[in-house]
Amino acid sequence: MTHVLVTGATGTVGRHVVDGIRDVPDLAVTAASRDPVRARDRLDCATVPFDFTVPATYRDAFADVEALFLVRPPALSRVRRDIVPALAAAVGAGVEHVVFLSVIGADTNPFVPHARIESWLADAGLETTFLRASFFMQNLSTTHREEIRNGRLAVPAGNGKTSFVDARDVAAVAVRTLRTRTTGAYDLTGPEALDYDAVCRQLSAVLDHDVAYTDPSLPRFLVSRYRLEGDLAKVGVMAAIYTTARLGLADRVTDDVHTVLDRPPIDVRTFARDNRSAWL
Ligand SMILES: NC(=O)c1ccc[n+]([C@@H]2O[C@H](COP(=O)([O-])OP(=O)(O)OC[C@H]3O[C@@H](n4cnc5c(N)ncnc54)[C@H](OP(=O)(O)O)[C@@H]3O)[C@@H](O)[C@H]2O)c1
């Protein structure tokens, strides 16, 4: 039996990793959370208190753990200060295999925090699996949920295409690599790259109302999104992501999901159908 600690277990990908591990007889799961009681209620599995920024939580969290599903919380960008101490504790506690939720392009862009985490893990002598995921379809049902409900999606991506991936596929690949203890790096995308006009057409086909795409200027997006989010760092990251798409740098499609799972990745239409209730 391999004991897996899932960080980010209450998040978009981690919750599906917890679900997936439950179905694997040779794996046992513990969900790490800053609020383990709430996490246990939501996930119905063993939980442990864990906070990257609170070293006192490390010892119990990593006790008897052989494999780690590692999620960098979006708010923690200072890798050396906020992430590395926990990773060092995991190594000290005997963790052998780390499956890290990274981001597509982390191998060529040293400025993303994921690149620094990959580099630290590679030097630590662990077995590592890097899941370099494209943009999650779930951003449409979380961050952009209200807009889509109201029939208008405003992102400054122009006609640029994005190879959206369903977080459920990312989680399924994670569970497979944890079960088979497969190391290496995978670029995880959906089956095709779509521009936001096409995404809105897919959403309109599934919902009872039309969803229109508007392409605001970058300053306009920054101002209106900041009013909504009140978090400058988050809005800055969003602007960078949509600008990358606008420049045609987010459209690479790979076979990696298909290769690992032996089935095609989930497409945007299926994602929209499965999550229809989010926008009603
Ligand atoms: N969104 C995308 O399109 C996309 C694409 C590729 C890669 N990524 C990467 O995926 C990662 C985010 O994954 P996600 O979207 O699945 O997560 P998420 O939904 O944003 O959830 C964040 C998770 O982090 C946990 N967390 C927050 N602060 C924490 C702390 N101080 N210590 C321990 N845990 C903490 C939260 O758990 P508790 O509240 O229970 O503690 C929560 O489960 C990021 O690194 C992001 O860059 C995102």
CATH of the domain at 71: 3.40.50.720
Residues with CB under 6 A from ligand 1: 7-14, 33-35, 39, 50-53, 71-74, 101, 103, 133, 135-136, 139
Phi, psi of 11 (to 5 degrees): -95, -170
pLDDT score at 223: 96
Ligand 1 centroid vs 28 CA: distance in angstroms? Answer: 21
Within this chain, do residues 271 and 211 fall inside the same structural domain, yes or no?
Answer: yes
Which is nearest to 173 in space by CA: 99, 114, 122?
99
Distance of alpha carbon 222 from alpha carbon 238, whole angstroms: 9
Q: And the tokens for 82?
A: 């906020």
- Residue from 5, 6, 10 whose mutation best tests the ligand 1 pocket (most atoms within 8 A of CB): 10
pLDDT score at 28: 98
How many domains does one find in the chain? 2
Instruction: Name the residue with tokens 């790979």.
Output: 254
Q: And the tokens for 209?
A: 């109302």
Within this chain, do residues 198 and 61 fall inside the same structural domain, yes or no?
Answer: no
Within this chain, do residues 118 and 218 fall inside the same structural domain, yes or no?
Answer: no
Contact predicate 173/186, CB 8 Å: yes
Within this chain, do residues 141 and 43 fall inside the same structural domain, yes or no?
Answer: no
Tens digit of pLDDT for each residue in 92-115?
Answer: 999 999 999 999 999 999 999 999
Q: Which residues contact 89 (CB under 8 A, 6 or more apart)?
A: 55, 58, 59, 62
Distance of alpha carbon 199 from alpha carbon 37, whole angstroms: 37
Instruction: Give the CATH number, domain containing residue 207.
Output: 3.90.25.10
- Residue from 81, 101, 109 whose mutation best tests the ligand 1 pocket (most atoms within 8 A of CB): 101
Within this chain, do residues 110 and 154 fall inside the same structural domain, yes or no?
Answer: no
pLDDT score at 122: 97
The ligand 1 atom nearest the CA atom of 9: 43
The ligand 1 atom nearest the CA atom of 52: 32
Ligand 1 centroid vs 234 CA: distance in angstroms? Answer: 13
pLDDT score at 147: 96
Range of the domain at 156: 134-166+189-251+266-280
pLDDT score at 68: 98
Ligand 1 centroid vs 13 CA: distance in angstroms? Answer: 8
Which is nearest to 151 in space by CA: 185, 109, 200?
200
Contact predicate 137/224, CB 8 Å: no
Q: Is residue 201 part of a domain?
A: yes
Within this chain, do residues 143 and 231 fall inside the same structural domain, yes or no?
Answer: yes
Phi, psi of 38 (to 5 degrees): -65, -40
Amino acid (1-letter code) at residue 169:
D
The ligand 1 atom nearest the CA atom of 38: 40
Q: And the tokens for 177?
A: 């690599």
Ligand 1 centroid vs 238 CA: distance in angstroms? Answer: 15
Neighbours of 7 (CB within 10 A): 24
Within this chain, do residues 161 and 227 fall inside the same structural domain, yes or no?
Answer: yes
Helix, strand, or coil (residue 190): coil
Ligand 1 centroid vs 166 CA: distance in angstroms? Answer: 15
In the chain, which stretches have pLDDT less than 50?
none
Within this chain, do residues 122 and 63 fall inside the same structural domain, yes or no?
Answer: yes
Within this chain, do residues 278 and 162 fall inside the same structural domain, yes or no?
Answer: yes
Within this chain, do residues 114 and 205 fall inside the same structural domain, yes or no?
Answer: no
pLDDT score at 139: 98
Q: Is residue 172 part of a domain?
A: no
